[in-house]
Amino acid sequence: MPAKPKPAKLKPAKPKAPPTKPLVCLVTPADAHDTKHKSRDAFEDELQRLGLTSAQIDYKVYYGSYSPTTLRTKANTAVSDAQSYVDAHQRAVIVTAGTMATAIVQGLAPNTIPIIQAAGGAMPTRQTNVTGFYIDAQGTSQSQFDKLSVYGTVTILYDSTNEPPSNSAYLALAAYAIQRYPLVTENSLDIHDLTRLVSTDIEGSFMLIPNTMYYNKCDVIAKAVKQAGVPAIYPEREYKNEHGNNKTGIKVHGHNIPLTYRLAATYVLNILDGSMVIPLPALASAIPDED
């Protein structure tokens, strides 16, 4: 009988070299292939300006691709990566884009890993390892509705799958509108996939409850509003900028998100150089913007 072939010897896996630089993670519900990433770009540009280049830090972005399930998976990977750096005696910090990302990371990360909410539509549960910036989405949306109520009909774009803050902010706004403006028609559009947004659904005037998915697709939303030909109040200036030269009836009442992300980059620097330690400062309001 022919001799049986000997099983191949398994080569021992080479141990991973320990990290030599601190880790900065950005966890975002956005998609890597979005045509616009103004907040991420501002954050990365500020890291560079502050001297946090690839020579000084390891930097990774974890994209949720607008799926809560994918976002949770990516957040879990980010937390695992951060913990591996901490175990190797390197600093690590997780930056979150939006309150939903913050809430997920909070539920996964130990309280020894610093978390910075770069911007979010609500205040996350207070933990000593969490800091950053928040938007009062409920208060902002109510102020926008106040201004648009003169048009008789207000179209409100929101995403019930974005929680927090879009759905809860919308529900609070709907209750506010009924009580304060019983004669004003509320035209609500609950849309997650913006390919479903058509200009003929927009009536009277327009506003939206902010979230990261909408922000990264501000060109799609602005195009539908332009085609509808209605006045609008946006929570961020990037939407207004998409209206080009004709911005008649287009206003901003909200926050400067790119500038807020730049401030988040400064927080990263402060954590990595040891000048900001746990317990971290309380969250602060995002930088306002209005015209």
pLDDT (tens digit, 9 = 90+) per residue, 24-60? 999 999 999 988 899 999 999 999 999 999 999 999 9
Locate tokens 């609070």: which residue? 172
Residues 239 and 217 in one domain: yes
Q: Per-residue pLDDT for 91 more than 60?
A: yes
Residues 264 and 132 in one domain: yes
Residues 27 and 170 in one domain: no
Percent of the chain with pLDDT over 70: 95
Domain holding 175, by residue range, is 137-254
- Give pLDDT, residue 260: 97
Residues 87 and 116 in one domain: yes
Q: In the predicted model, what is the mean pLDDT of residues 1-10?
A: 57
* Residue 1, in any domain of the structure: no
Residues 130 and 149 in one domain: no
Residues 94 and 177 in one domain: no
* Residue 78, in any domain of the structure: yes
Indicate the number of domains in the chain: 2
The domain that holds 188 is classified in CATH as 3.40.50.2300
- Dihedral angle sign, alpha carbons of residues 267, 270, 271, 276: negative
d(CA 219, CA 55): 35
- Give pLDDT, residue 122: 84
Q: What is the pLDDT of residues 217-243, one digit of tens each?
A: 999 999 999 999 999 999 999 999 999
Confidence of residue 165 (pLDDT cuts 50, 70, 90): confident
Instruction: Judge whether 264 and 119 are in contact, CB under 8 Å.
Output: yes
Confidence of residue 6 (pLDDT cuts 50, 70, 90): low
**Cross-strand partners of 154:** 186
Residues 62 and 80 in one domain: yes
Residues 142 and 233 in one domain: yes
Tokens of 9: 């010897």
* Residue 60, in any domain of the structure: yes
Residues 185 and 88 in one domain: no
Residues 202 and 103 in one domain: no
Residues 59 and 127 in one domain: yes
* Residue 3, in any domain of the structure: no
The mean pLDDT value of the chain amounts to 93
- Give pLDDT, residue 245: 93
* Residue 2, in any domain of the structure: no
Residues 77 and 130 in one domain: yes
